Structure 1
Amino acid sequence: MSRINPQQEHIQQSVILTRGLSQRAPSGAPLLCVATMPVVLRSLLTAKRAGATKFLVVLDADTGADVRRALERSGRLPAGVEWLALPDGQGSLTAALGEIAERADDQFLLLPGEATFHASLLSQINSPDGDSAMALMVSERPTGIYRFSRFAARAVASQAPPLQSVEELNAWLNQVNLVKHKAVDEAYWQPIAQAADLPTAERKLDRWLYKETDGIWARLNRHISIPISRVLVRLRMTPNMVTLFTLLVSFVSGTFFAFGGYVNAVIGALLSHWASVLDGSDGEVARLTFQESDFGCWLETMCDSLYYVFVLGGMVMGLYRTSGGLIYLVAGGLLAFGSLMSIITTAYQRRRVAPQQPEKYLAKWGKQMDTHPENLFLRF
C-alpha cells in the first residue's frame, strides 16, 4: 500500500511515456513539432508549468535513443530529468509500469509524450489520493493523463496481460476496479498520432494563449498578435526581445506625438496601436515556448508603464507645442504623478497577491476583489 505524506500538497513527479498513447501512433510521433517544439518536450515542460519538479522519461528500445538525443540537443530540458530505457522486447505498458514502479515516487503523474494538453488539466489530478489511479477522459476516451500510485503500477505489472495502449490499460484498470475517471473538455487536449493531427493541435494551442483577464480590446488585438507571435517563435525571438522592441515602438510613437501637428499625431496613434498589439506578443511567445520568468514579468510591467509615460508625455508635449497652453503642462504633470503611483502600487500588489506567480497577478487580484466584502463595486 502506498503512503501519502500529509505535508505533500502536490505530486512532484511526472512520468512521460514516449510511446503508448495509441496503437495507431507511429514511432516518430513524439518528435513531431507543435509551434517548433517536439510534442514530447511540450509534455515535459507542461508538467513543469503545472508544478512538477522531477521527471522520468520512459524510452522504448526502438525509438528511445532518437528521442533522448533530440531532447538533449534542444537545450530546453528542465532540471531533474531522469531516463528509463526499456529493454528490447519489453515495450508493452505492462512491462513499462513494472519498471516505473521501481523508480517512481509513491504517487506520480503518468503523461503521454504523443499529445498536447493544457497545464490546467494536471491541476485537477495532482493531489495525492489513495492507491487507485485517476484517468482524465474525453468523451469516454482515455487521454493518457493519469494520476498513478506505485501500488497501482505494481498491480498492473504483476497481474495484467501485455497491454499495448492506454485504451487497453484503461480497460484493464476498469475491470479490476483500480481507476477513477474524470471528464475533461476536449478543447484542452489533442492527441498527436500523425502529421495530420498537427493543424488541430496548433489551433488549440492558439486558443490557449487567450487569458481570463483579457478584455474586449485585448481579445480583438490577439487576432493580430497571435499570428505575429507565431512568426516571432519561428525566428527564435525571446519574450524579452519582444518586450524591448515594443518599448522602442512606444518611444517612437511618443516622439511623433511630441512633434505636434496632425500628420505626426496620426503616425503616433498608429504606432501606439501597433505597440498595444505587440504588448500581447511577448506573453504569447513566453507561453508558446515555456519561457515565462519573474524577470520577464517585471520587465513587461515596467515597459507597460513606460508606454504610458512615452505616449501620454508625447501627447502633452505635442499639444503644448501646437497651442502653447500651460494647462497641458499641468495635465502632463498630473499624468506623470499618476503613472508613478500606478507603477508603485502595481509592484506592491503584485508582490503581495502573487509573489510566486507574478504573471497571474491580475487573475488572482480580480478573484480577491470579487469576493472582498469591502469591494464597493459589488454594491451596485
Structure 2
Amino acid sequence: MIDFWLAAGLLLLVALSFLLIPVLRSRRAQLEEDRTALNVALYQERVAELQVQQQEGVLDAAQMDAGRAEAARELLADTEGVAAPRVTRLGKAAPLLAAILVPVLGLGLYLHFGASDKVELTREFAQAPQSMEEMTRRLERAVAAQPDSAEALYFLGRTYMTQDRPADAAKIFERTVNLAGRQPELLGQWAQAQYFADGKKWSDKVQALTDEALKADPKEVTSLGLLGIAAFEGQRFQEAIDYWNRLLEQLPPDDQSRIALQGGITRASEKLVASGGKVAQAPAAKPAALLKVRVDLAADLKSKVQPGDSVFIFARATSGPPAPLAAKRLTVADLPATVELGDGDAMMPQLKLSNFPEVQLVARISRAGQPTAGEWIGRSQPLASSTTAPQQLTIDSPDK
C-alpha cells in the first residue's frame, strides 16, 4: 500500500498547488502595494519639505516647481512596472480553508467509499499463506469485503470444516445457498456441517437437506457419504454399506478416499455379520460401455480441408444432457482413423456412456479448434450404448 499512498500524496500536492499558488501571488501583490504606498508617502513628505523651504524664502517659485517635478519623476520611476491590484471576492481565508478541507474530505470519502481493503487482500492472496490460520483470516476478510461472493463463502465454509468448526461452517454454507441457489453440492455440504455441529445427531433439518440434494442429483457424493455415516452410527449397517457402495461408484479409480471408504464398508459388513445379519449382495454393476468407430472424410471434402484442422469425435446422449459423454481429438491428417469411446473417456464422472441407454456418434472438423462449432460434420443414427460392433462414421455435411 506504500506506493498507493505515495501516488495519492503526489496527486494531493498537485491539487493543493492550484489552491495555494493564488495565495502566494496575493502575498507578492500585497508587498508591491506596500512598497508603492511607501513611495507615495516619501513623495508627499518631499513636497511638504519643499513647501516649507519656499515659505522660509530659501526656494523661489521656479526652484519649487523643479523640486516638485524631480520628486514626481522619482515616484514614477519607483512605481513603474507594478501591476494593478487584482480584485477578488474570495480573500485569503477561503483558499487556505479549502487547502485544509480538500485532503481531509478526500481521505474521508476514500475510506468510506474506496476499496483499500480489497487492494490489500489482492496483495495478500498473491502470496502463499504460511499457515491454515492465516488462510482462514484471509478468507474471513475476503468475505467481509465481498459479502455477496458465493465463492469466498464456499471456500471459507470448507476451511472451517477442516478446522473442526462445523457450527461456523453450517452458517457459512447456509449463506452460500441463499446466494448461489439450492445446488445439490452446496446442500450436501450444509447438511454435513449441520450434522457435526449438532453433535452427530440426525435431525429433520439434515434429513430434508440430504433428501433435496439427492433428489436433484442422486449421485451427490457428500450426501451419500453423510447418510452412510449416519446409518453406521445408528447401527443400520446394511444402509451404510448401500450408501457407501453408491458413493464408491462415483469416485475416480485413483481417488485416495476410496481406501478409507472401502475400510468403512468392511467394518460395517463385519458388524452386520457379528450382530447375526447377512450382507446383501450389491446389484451387479453395469458393464462399462465401449464403442469402436472408424472415422473417415468424404471424398469431395478432401480438397476443402487442411491437414492441421482439428477433428473432434464424441458420443452424446440422444435423450439427456447436451454435453459429450466421451470425446477424442484428432486432426484431418490422422484420417481415416479408428478410435474407441468408453466410460474412461467421460468428460465428467457422472456422465458416462453406460449411464445412458442410447447415444449418437458425432465427428466435427473445426479449423478454429472449437469442439462446439466447425465447418464440416458427420452424424450416426442413434445406437445402444452397449453396442459392441464397430461403427462407421463419415464426415460429409456442412456444420450448420
Query: TM-score scaled to structure 2, two decimals?
Result: 0.23
TM-score, normalising length from structure 1? 0.23
